[in-house]
Chain A
Amino acid sequence: MTTPLVEMKDISISFGGIKAVDHVSVDLKPGEVVGLLGHNGAGKSTLIKILSGAYAMDTGEIRINGEKATINNPRDARTYNIETIYQTLALADNLDAASNLFLGRELVSSMGFVDDDAMEAETRKIMARLNPNFKKFKDPVSALSGGQRQSVAIARAVYFNARILIMDEPTAALGPHETQMVSELIQQLKAEGIGIFLISHDIHDVMELCDRASVMKNGKLVGTVDVADVTDDDLLGMIILGKKPGES
């Protein structure tokens, strides 16, 4: 059996006495897509923000490639090749696509100055692959459409050779055509051996794209199932009633 890429064991975090994540364990293997499901406020986003370094967990353990990992901030997460596409996209609206793509990891010239031209050239290359229609390289991202903004956020995660990718509702703001593009991208990244946590509301997305699904309710893990073994209704039952398939 291969070593899991990520193991999050017995993770807990509270905010002001409310247990947002309560002793949850999930794992992710190379080339696998694991869906995280649950209502709003179930704790999915919070759990994932612990892995991406935005929140520090109260108790628990994270292992990357079987080794204990210390992730205290987003920089730490990036050193483990964990990249995140946030639901809010986390773009600085006043900056252009290249500045956002390289935010925190700017390309610099030999003199140590930010090299905007080199960053724009790299951005043009990756956009030609991800979204060939993307042309607005000079405009601030506030001037872009929802789909274009999404592709900037995706490009940022993909460009830096992520090995672990977290996607929080990646298709929520997209039209059908762009959603299809994201699906194809996920398949392609999976084939390259990247592990993906996919947070979604949409059961059909999960059934189509994921290998396994972990369902959360009220901060607790209801269970993790192989998608091939369950039906839509089984997953719905887990989300709404918080019971595993087969339980009465």
Chain B
Amino acid sequence: MEDQAKSMMDKLGLDARLLGMIGALVVIWLVFGFFTDWRFLSPRNFFNVSVQTASVAVMATGMVFVIVTRNIDLSVGSLLGFIGMTVAALQVQWLPSMLGLGHPMIWVIAVIAAVLMGAFLGAIQGWVIGYLTVPAFIVTLGGFLVYRGAMWWVTKGQTQAPLDPVFRLLGGGAEGTLGETLSWVFGTIAALVAVGIMLLSRRRKATHGFTVKPVWAEGILMAMAAGLIIAFVWIMNSYPIPRGAMRRMTEARGIEYTDGMVWNHGIAIPVVILLAVTIVMTIIATRTRFGRYVYATGGNPEAASLSGIDTRLLTVKVFALMGALTGIASIIASARLNAVDVGLGTLDELRVIAAAVIGGTALSGGAGTIYGAVIGALIMQSLQSGMASVGVDAPLQNIVVGFVLVLAVWIDIVYRRRAGV
């Protein structure tokens, strides 16, 4: 019986680590659901958790590359704050005085500025690490202090609010979603694309004469992928927009609001951004030379450079990418709060590293997946939201997260030793 189950898992080709993480996630959801009269499993809570996960998860995908190349980045929380404050000041003070308040280009400029600023500062750190060979731990520890200090100087500590109305949509909220119809369109296309990619890969393998998975296994996987996507859209489309926001939105669109009217949220824009980042980063990791060199360098730096890979330039690129993703995360975090104070991003570096590590990224380098880091971020956020909703005090939340992090890494070490990888 056990053997049968094992051979079935083998044929499906799902790895044990992924299943373990999904299992942990489901257990967390069920436990908190039980203690909250199932409020934790409501569409409303899933919507909130998905939005709260987005910022950390976006950074965690970049942290995978950083850790895979045997580096670390302790500066992302401070950098997120520094970018957030600069871009907020750009929207609140500088651009309105140049272009006029409410100019339609403000949010575009702000977004581009955030990403470029992150990439530039990341590249500088990468250059110091790669070319001047100062350890990443030290360089980014310096960055951690420098960016937090620099953040204060941008506005002399003044909180910046309110942000540009279009920019604010990138952080979610009642208006910052795809809406019901578009969410279904998005979900349907995503499900079709997922199935299409699996079919194409199968056909390509067959033309090379490789053994492919049995048809039933492939069918189950396709059904699971499509089913998960559709289920997610369905949950997001089951969370009605509160009355106050409805009044505001109907008015803005020139529709008369009546009491019986129900609009649902649909997928939040930050979650759409996270999904896009996850897909792009997965393609980079598995289908580009750059991604291949990231893993090769992490596995054996000497072999990589003997193969003609410029590992110093690679370090610059990895940190620039981490910075750009921190810029995107900063947009999501500041837009969600509609304000930036000097505390934005505090401790985020630890959440990001924890998400990547819980997701199976090995600190010794060479191993880690993008989807793992995103699920890791989701596990962390589920734990924190869950504890908050059952009334655990903030200090105790930190203690629990700390223990879970160590436990997760220990389980990972035991798993690796057993699997011999």
Contact = CB atoms under 8 A, between A and B. Distances in A.
Interface in A64-121: 73-75, 78, 84, 86, 88-95, 99-100, 103-104, 106, 108, 112-114, 117-118, 120-121
Contact of B289 (A54, A73, A108): A108
A59 interface: no
Contact of A91 (B209, B289, B300): B300
Interface in B349-374: 366-367
A120 B296 contact: no
Given A114-B288, A117-B204, A99 B306 contact: no
B366 A90 contact: no
A54 B421 CA distance: 29
Interface in B366-421: 366-367, 420-421
Contacts of A75: 308
Contacts of B204: 117
A104 B208 contact: no
Contacts of A99: 292, 296
A74 B304 CA distance: 10
A75 B303 CA distance: 13
A100 to B, nearest CB: 8
B307 interface: yes
Contact of A143 (B286, B305, B421): B421
Contacts of A93: 299-300, 366
A118 B208 contact: yes
A142 interface: yes
Interface string A134-148: 000000101100000
Interface string B271-302: 00000000000010011110111011111101
Contacts of A53: 308
Given A99-B296, A106-B292, A143-B421, A94 B367 contact: yes
B39 interface: no
B306 A94 contact: no
B16 to A, nearest CB: 15
B300 A92 contact: yes
B421 A74 contact: no
Nearest to B305: A74
A75 B305 CA distance: 10
Interface string B301-345: 011111111000000000000000000000000000000000000
A103 B420 contact: no
A142 B421 contact: yes
Contact of A88 (B289, B293, B302): B302
A57 B97 CA distance: 60
Contact of A90 (B283, B287, B292, B300): B300
Nearest to A111: B287
A75 B307 CA distance: 7
B299 A54 contact: no
A108 B305 CA distance: 20
Of B208, B296, B300, B420, the most chain A CB neighbours within 10 A belong to B300
Contact of B208 (A84, A114, A121): A121
Given A75-B308, A108-B289, A113-B287, A94 B303 contact: no
16 contacts: A52-B306, A54-B305, A54-B306, A88-B303, A89-B303, A90-B306, A93-B366, A94-B299, A94-B367, A95-B299, A114-B286, A114-B288, A120-B210, A121-B210, A140-B421, A142-B421
Given A73-B308, A104-B293, A117-B208, 5 more contacts: A74-B305, A93-B299, A103-B309, A121-B208, A121-B210
Closest 4 CB pairs of A and B: A94-B299, A92-B299, A104-B307, A94-B366
